[in-house]
Structure 1
């Protein structure tokens, strides 16, 4: 018989005052797996997390831990009986307790009985010398690490994390994320993480569940969700996008950048060719010579530079296209700052384009 997932959510629903906030959410999380609920504010991801934690109750559906139901229409275990750890934006450390006492707070017998376990956890996040310090003596990043090991101290089967890094300075965030991920993997903890930041989800998750209006609209490995978005909104959530408009004729769509295959779409269907700025290329070999209809990468289209900005690792160049005056954005590695009014030819990476009905 196959081993059940550590956490399973089945057809979860939650209604507030007649409004469906969570609708038919289902997912599983295995031991050692990080699943990220990703989506904009108000999409239902934090409500889903609260239901799994047991601090809110669903209107329908079930929550199972290691194959055992902990909440359905008939019963609802309180949070402390679910074997679940919680970590939120607010570190919620007790200011009157030492770091060691904070970490041992949820352990039977406290720090006196579990000092070795507490010291080991603090050592693993480079805070071994702070067991007798107090929270006000620590930096924000150090307090975050204390909150993490406090949640891990009872060895929870599941860790729920709601925007846990949003209060940190940008310079600290990547380091704390990496430390957190390493420790959670070492403990083989099943993690359900809520965030509205695509970069955080891509960095931490084994699986992303993209939410919109209370539903999971796409679920899969970060690479798959990023490179195979379900629709235009899913593509746009992860990065800026450019849109080139066209119309289907004979399973092909004509655009200023050449023809795109659009099988299965009826003639006359308006479509949007979606492309990310890093996949719009400036054709330096073609400058001054005009488009080449036989080029393997398709026909080039000309645009005039509107503005260019250096972003640190790359340059962002905005073009007003000759064919319809729309603005397209391209990113170029390093420093490339052409003057406004400069005409340049552009090509698309067709293998990185997405075609959706308009």
Structure 2
């Protein structure tokens, strides 16, 4: 070996993402429904496109599948381009599995034949794969039944098994677990995603349910009005939302307002830091009900202020409800007549008209400039 040759020993060659979507846009009838969407998914990773109905997440999924054509941008798998504005690999040649809300089993085929439809190999190999997947989705012994003999949830599990059967390198899932009852949903969902991870499949999952995204995803792309507004791990998306709407999408929120003076905002709950906000600007301070601390009223007095919880403010209970694992208490605040909510673990049901003092955790508040 030449000593002056470039040395590559110990240097690992970078590999392309299993799936890469680059600057994809879609326009229908002159209306842009997807705008400049980009993301990457590695083998064994689960990316969730999360957002309200009509935000463009299902259209993005259909572009990756090859069912829709984009007006701009490109899609790549393992570094190879699948499509751009002028070229498109046929859907059946993309190595992509599809599970949409309308799971559409073949009614004239048995469950086993439905699952084996896209398989290749000997009959014994295909039968073994079918039996393995039926066991995985809790439908062992259903191979000879026909779709009309199954419930809606059972049909959806067969559709899951059919999509998993060929071991696709990319799996696209559009709210695939919505037809399962609560008793089965968590188990089937976790088992399915674990199987996909074990096989190194890159998963793109579409849902409008934040709890489902938090439970399932390695990465979340939060979509709004056709574009991704925030992208990251579930913990980061939840605890560092990009704006008030992002915070509100994941849970109930409380909002109070104040005006900035010298990087601080004065409120009835004390001062809040407002870095990089100009003096005189109005800001909204956002916090979740579970981060409100409650204390009893002592003849018109509350607890002393603390650096962690700031200054307490008094409110009067309007309504309290037990929600199963926690209690939700709604207040009418003395300082402005506005409403705030607090959640308390377990059973806590003060009567309407009860005065209580509310404090707000400083490290759990978000300060945003208001949007018009």
Tell me the TM-score normalised to structure 1 length: 0.95
What do residues 267-314 of structure 1 show as CA deviations (whole Å, max 9, x unaligned)? Answer: 111111100111111124x64461455423211000001111111111
Selected match of 1:92 from 88, 101, 104: 104
Selected match of 1:73 from 67, 85, 101: 85
Alignment of 1:54-69 (within 5 A): 54-69=66-81
What do residues 71-127 of structure 1 show as CA deviations (whole Å, max 9, x unaligned)? Answer: 012311110010000001122122322111010011246856611221222223333
Report the alpha carbon displacement of residue 213 of structure 1 after superposing the two structures with TM.
0.8
Match of 2:5 in 1: none
Equivalences, count: 357
Q: Say if 1:100 and 1:111, in contact at 8 Å, map to a contact too.
A: no
Q: Say if 2:238 and 2:250, in contact at 8 Å, map to a contact too.
A: yes
Provide the aligned C-alpha RMSD in A. Answer: 1.6
Which whole-Å CA distance do the structure 1 matches of 2:289 and 2:223 have between them?
24
Alignment of 1:1-358 (within 5 A): 1-108=13-120, 114-284=126-296, 287-288=298-299, 290-292=301-303, 294-296=305-307, 297-358=309-370
Farther-moved stretch of structure 1 (206-215 vs 177-186): 177-186
SS of equivalent residue, structure 1 residue 24: strand
Which whole-Å CA distance do the structure 2 matches of 1:151 and 1:324 have between them?
56
How has the CA–CA distance of structure 1 residues 134 and 288 changed in structure 2, closer, same or farther, with 3 Å as cutoff? farther
Farther-moved stretch of structure 1 (124-133 vs 42-51): 124-133
Which whole-Å CA distance do the structure 2 matches of 1:312 and 1:53 have between them?
41
Match of 2:3 in 1: none
User: Structure 1: 5+ residue runs without aligned partners?
Assistant: none
Farther-moved stretch of structure 1 (82-91 vs 168-177): 168-177
SS of equivalent residue, structure 1 residue 76: coil
SS of equivalent residue, structure 1 residue 338: coil
Q: Say if 1:37 and 1:45, in contact at 8 Å, map to a contact too.
A: yes
Q: Say if 1:291 and 1:299, in contact at 8 Å, map to a contact too.
A: no
How has the CA–CA distance of structure 1 residues 211 and 178 changed in structure 2, closer, same or farther, with 3 Å as cutoff? same
Q: Say if 2:285 and 2:367, in contact at 8 Å, map to a contact too.
A: yes
How has the CA–CA distance of structure 1 residues 110 and 104 changed in structure 2, closer, same or farther, with 3 Å as cutoff? farther
Q: Say if 2:137 and 2:188, in contact at 8 Å, map to a contact too.
A: no
How has the CA–CA distance of structure 1 residues 342 and 104 changed in structure 2, closer, same or farther, with 3 Å as cutoff? same
Which whole-Å CA distance do the structure 1 matches of 2:298 and 2:166 have between them?
64
Q: Say if 1:141 and 1:172, in contact at 8 Å, map to a contact too.
A: no
Report the alpha carbon displacement of residue 250 of structure 1 after superposing the two structures with TM.
1.2
After superposing on structure 2, the runs of 4+ consecutive aligned residues of structure 1 that deviate more than 6 Å are: none
What do residues 44-85 of structure 1 show as CA deviations (whole Å, max 9, x unaligned)? Answer: 111100000001100010010111001012311110010000
User: Structure 2: 5+ residue runs without aligned partners?
Assistant: 1-12
Which whole-Å CA distance do the structure 2 matches of 1:287 and 1:180 have between them?
54
Q: Say if 1:279 and 1:330, in contact at 8 Å, map to a contact too.
A: yes
Q: Say if 2:24 and 2:37, in contact at 8 Å, map to a contact too.
A: yes
